[in-house]
Copies of this chain bind each other. A is one copy, B any other.
Amino acid sequence: MAVTLADVAARAGVSSATVSRVLNGNYPVAGSTRERVQRAVEELDYVVNGQARALAAATSDLVGVLVNDVADPFFGVIASALQGEIGAGGAEPGGGKLAVVCNTGGSPEAELTYLTLLERQRAAGVVLTGGAVENDQHTGAVAARLARLAASGTRIVLCGRPPLSLPGDAGSVTTLAFDNRGGARRLTEHLLSLGHRRIGCVTGPVGRSTTRHRLEGHQAALAAHGMGPGTPGGIAAERLTVHGGYDRASGYDATLELLRRDPGLTAVVAANDTVALGVCAALRDRGLDVPGDVSVAGFDDLPFSVDASPALTTVRIPLQEAGARAGRVVMGRQQPPPGGLASIPTELMVRASTAPPAADRA
């Protein structure tokens, strides 16, 4: 079997308590004793049993990170930055915490299942990333679970999620919300100011907070230009909105559908950059030039977007910074924002994929 504290203690001729104290360095120990213990540790290649330690000390070395899918750069970047902050890199005493990455695929059930699993592990913290499913029952279930976690000392951070009010006013939850609405609005305003009026919108999955916020921003910009709901232009705008997933194929398919509804549209805003690539591909396959015939804009400013050609106009979300901050907060190494809520600003990045509309094609 594995070497235990007792083995080390025996070899060093001290009690196991002393070994524990040397290992944790949280209690005075004589220099000579310390050395003897350290030698014994090395000779025996001793490695503490984290589970036993966790049980005895009621601590945990784990931080859970819920993401839709780590393969999606949006979440990959957040997870990476977060892991960098909590991990062994930082000079954390004891080597930092381990990141448990959980792919929920956007499924409410998976989300709850993973929260239970993390509760089992008595995780030191949990970070929920990305938009939330907007369903009262599910929201309530998540809130209840988070409240229990928070009550038991687990730090909770919502990163890119709307704030959540926990029942029973349990321990605090920190929310780092992205300004999706503002970003989407500025993006559509950019297109409007270029002269576009027939703007297709390939938005995200229905029933999700991110989708709603970005769509609201888009519609707010339209409304400000007299193209709000109820107006003739507004009706057109609604006809030019298609929901889809966050993958390339969605963008491709949605674009074909949009072109069917209005062959003369001059711009498309996509749910995110990945979708925007699909939009561009579909337009190209239809013989349309970007941005000559149709302007295209994405969202998120994922790493590859600047290298697309044409380089993608998009809305930058500082994912890396947000992930790092979430990591620091969940480690208790940085003060939560006042009120537990911070709005992360987004920034319009105008690049080559948007331009003034050409003369009408249809």
Contacts and interface: CB of A to CB of B under 8 A. Distances in A.
Interface of A: 2, 45, 47-52, 54-55, 60-62, 64, 69-73, 76-77, 79-81, 83-84, 87-89, 95, 98-103, 105, 110, 113-114, 116-122, 148, 152, 248, 274, 277-278, 280-281, 284, 303-304, 307-309, 320
A95 B73 contact: no
A83 B70 contact: yes
23 contacts: A45-B148, A47-B120, A49-B55, A49-B122, A50-B122, A51-B54, A61-B117, A61-B121, A64-B98, A70-B76, A70-B80, A71-B80, A71-B81, A73-B73, A83-B103, A87-B114, A89-B103, A89-B105, A98-B117, A101-B101, A248-B307, A307-B308, A308-B308
B103 A87 contact: yes
A98 B88 contact: no
Contact of A120 (B48, B83, B117, B119): B48
Contact of A83 (B51, B60, B61, B102): B102
Contacts of A148: 45
A275 to B, nearest CB: 11
Contacts of A110: 88-89
A101 B79 contact: yes
A88 to B, nearest CB: 4
A51 B119 CA distance: 11
Count identical subunits in the complex: 2
A103 B80 contact: yes
Contacts of A45: 148
Contacts of A303: 71, 248, 274
A69 B80 contact: yes
A113 to B, nearest CB: 4
A309 B118 CA distance: 43
A120 B51 CA distance: 8
A81 B105 CA distance: 12
Contacts of A118: 98
A84 B104 CA distance: 9
A102 B120 contact: no
A338 B79 CA distance: 35
A133 to B, nearest CB: 17
Nearest to A151: B2
A336 to B, nearest CB: 24
A72 B304 CA distance: 11
A39 to B, nearest CB: 18
A72 B117 CA distance: 27
Given A71-B77, A83-B102, A121 B50 contact: yes
